[in-house]
Amino acid sequence: MKVILKENVETLGKAGDILKVADGFARNFLIPKGIAAEANVRNIKALEHNKQNIIRKAEKERKLHEGMAASLAGVTCTISRRVGEQDKLFGSVTAKDIEESLLAQDIKIDRKALVLDEPIKAIGEFPIVVKLGGGVSAEIKVNVIPEQA
């Protein structure tokens, strides 16, 4: 089934793209969520008419994400954990812990946006990538320190 994307989808394409996807994916996911519309003659004509609005909206969203990336540029969050021998952590630091630490600094970022290959299990400073959407990402520093007894 051919569909027209109404918004940017990282795995599929950009807003305004006409794609061929599986019928079930289009009917059960893309169209009901408003992410895409069926590519029929009427919708294609409407797309041509609204293409400038779609491009403007995508550009506005990208600028918003770039502004967020600039504000996150120098952010460092510090998390303290109990440590054992050889500065090995009891437990680990996860994306949820980083999200809570950022919230304490009045920075709201969803933990799903934090790119963490595996939980942090050592003391030190670690760079973490934050995917903001629209192909924009930022890097924050997470400083894990030993907890004072």
Distance of alpha carbon 98 from alpha carbon 111, whole angstroms: 8
| Verdict on whether the full-model pTM lies above 0.85 | no
List domains and CATH numbers for the chain.
2-64 (3.40.5.10), 73-146 (3.10.430.100)
Convert 104-143 to b/e letters by CB count within 10 Å (16 or more is b).
eeebebeeeebebeeebeebeeeebebbbebebebebebe
Instruction: Give tens-digit pLDDT for 97-148.
Output: 999 999 998 988 888 889 988 989 889 999 999 998 777 889 999 999 988 7
Residues paired with residue 35 on neighbouring β-strands, in sequence order: none
pLDDT for position 48: 82
Q: How far, CA to CA in Å, does 53 sit from each of 5, 10, 30, 31?
A: 13, 20, 20, 20
Distance of alpha carbon 120 from alpha carbon 92, whole angstroms: 5
Amino acid at 42: R
